[in-house]
Amino acid sequence: MNRKVSVAPMMDCTDRHERYFLRLISKNTLLYTEMVVDEAINRGDKKRLLGFNINEKPVALQLGGSSAKLLAEASKIGEDFGYDEINLNLGCPSRKVEKSKFGACLMKEPNLVADCLSKMQASTNLPVTIKTRIGYDNVEDYENLHNFISILKSTGVKTFIIHARKAMLGKFTPKQNLNIPPLKYEYVYKLKEDFADEEIIINGGITSVDQIKPHLEKTDGVMIGRAAYHTPYMLADIEKEIFGTKEVLSRQDVIEQLIPYVKDELKKGTRLNQIMRHTIGLFHGQTGASYWKRYLSENMCVRDADVKKIDHIMDKIKYNNIDTSVGQSA
C-alpha cells in the first residue's frame, strides 16, 4: 500500500462521490471514507454505508467505535466489500463522538484500544491502521504519546497516522480543534526516530506540495485534510511532483470524465447537488473561478437541480473564459 500521500477521512466531505471525483485528478493518492460507526455497519444498510465504485480504489475504510467485537465484525465486512485498508479513528474530538466512546477520548484507554486492534486484525487480512492525535486536554507530553504508540504497536499494527495537534475534549468545537491547538510536528518526527520500523504518517495544517516535501524527508507519508477538499486540483500537483506522473487531466477533462458518472448516478436516484457540491473548488485560483462557483451554487448545488444543466456545463466553462489548463493549483 502506497501511503506517501493520502486524503484524510472527513465527515460530510469524503463520501463516495468526492472520492470518485478526486480519483480522476490523482491515480495514486490514497483515499479514505468518512468515519463509519461499527454499530451502524453491523445493524444498518451495509450497501448504503459501504458501497463504492471500483474506480475509487485504492480506498481505506475508517471505523469508529470501542467494542472489540463490533469493530472486528465491521472490519471483516469492510474487507468483503473490497476496501484496501481498515483504519480506526482515535482522533475525532467532537462531544458527540466522546459520548459514544470513540475517537480521541480513547487515547485515555490504550489497553482497550489494543484489545480492539488485536481483534480487528484477527478478523481481516487487510492492514489495520490508526489515526490519532499527539495528546488530549492537558496530556500533551511526548512521553505519553510514545507510550500510547508502544502499546498499540504491541498488537502488530504497523501504520500510525498522527495529527500533530492535541484534542481538546468537550472544550472546543471540531472546527476549533482543527485550528487552535498548536501544531507540534516535532513530536511526529521524533516518533519516526523512535519507531524506525513502523510507518509514521504526518497530518495537520499541510496545504501544498511545497509543504509536503520536507515532511516526507522526516516521515513515511503525509495526509492532507481540508486543503484537498477546498482546493482539490492540488492533487494534480501531487500526482506530478510526488508520484512522478507525467500527464494528468486538465480541470476541463476532469469534469468531462465526471459527467458520465453523474448521469449514471442520477438514474439511481442520486441528486445532482450530492455530487457537484464537491467540485466547487476545482477552479480555485484560476481565471473565471468565481463564475464556476456561482454557476454551481445557483444551478447544480441546490436540492432540486435541473438535470439538463449537466449537458450545458462544458459550454459554460468554454464560453466564460474559465482557465482549465494543467498547472499549479493556487
What pairs with residue 202 in β-bridges?
A: 162, 222
Same domain for 219 and 180? yes
Q: What is the pLDDT at residue 98? A: 57
Q: Is residue 132 a part of any domain in this protein?
A: yes
Flag whether 256 is in a domain.
Answer: yes
Helix 142-153 to helix 185-194 angle, to the nearest 10 degrees? 40
Q: State yes or no: is 301 an active-site residue.
A: no
Report if residue 218 sits inside a domain.
yes
- Radius of gyration in angstroms for the set of CA atoms belonging to the chain, rounded to a whole number: 20
Last residue of a domain, one of 241, 272, 292: 241
Task: Identify whether residues 228 and 287 lie together within a single domain.
Answer: no
Task: Kindly write down the DSSP assignment for every residue of 69-116, as one continuous string.
Answer: HHHHHHHHHHHHHT-SEEEEEE----HHHHHTT-SGGGGG-HHHHHHH
Which pLDDT score, from 0 to 100, does residue 321 have?
57
Domain for residue 325, yes or no?
no
The x, y and z cell numbers of residue 60, run together, are 481505506
End-to-end Cα spacing for the chain: 29
pTM over 0.95: no
Average per-residue pLDDT for the chain: 91
What is the model's pLDDT at position 89? Answer: 97
Same domain, 264 and 231: no
Which tens digit of pLDDT belongs to each residue from 40-79? 999 999 999 999 999 999 999 999 999 999 999 999 999 9
CATH of the domain at 189: 3.20.20.70
pLDDT 10s digits, 292-315:
888 888 877 666 666 667 667 767
Going by C-alpha positions, the residue among 12, 5, 54, 10 that lies closest to residue 32 is: 10
Domain count for the chain: 2
* Rounded mean pLDDT, 171-185: 74
Q: Which residues contact 328 (CB under 8 A, 6 or more apart)?
A: 237
Same domain? For 232 and 203 the reply is yes
Contact 187, 141 (CB under 8 A): no
Grid cell 488530549 is found at 136
Q: Which domain holds residue 175?
A: 5-241
- The active-site residue, picked from 92, 105, 116, 301, is 92
Give tens-digit pLDDT for 204-240: 999 999 999 999 999 999 999 999 999 999 999 999 9
* Boundary of a domain, candidates 207, 241, 275: 241
Same domain, 156 and 65: yes
CA distance to 17, 40, 110, 118, per residue, from 72 (Å): 27, 13, 17, 9
In this prediction, residue 169 has a pLDDT band, given cuts at 50, 70 and 90, of: confident
* Confidence bin at 202 (pLDDT 50/70/90): very high
By C-alpha distance, which of 111, 130, 114, 131 is closest to 122? 114
Same-domain status, 139 and 49: yes
Q: How many CB atoms lie within 10 A of CB 100?
A: 15
Q: Assess contact for 57 and 83: CB atoms under 8 A.
A: no
Nearest 5°: the CA angle 189, 178, 191 is 15
End position of a domain, from candidates 209, 241, 273: 241
pLDDT band at 168 (very low <50, low <70, confident <90, very high): confident
Please tell me whether residues 90 and 115 are part of one structural domain. Answer: yes
Phi (first) and psi of residue 290, to 5 degrees: -65, -35
Same domain, 265 and 161: no
- At 16, which amino acid appears? R
Do 219 and 167 fall into the same domain? yes
Whether residue 258 sits in one domain with residue 237: no
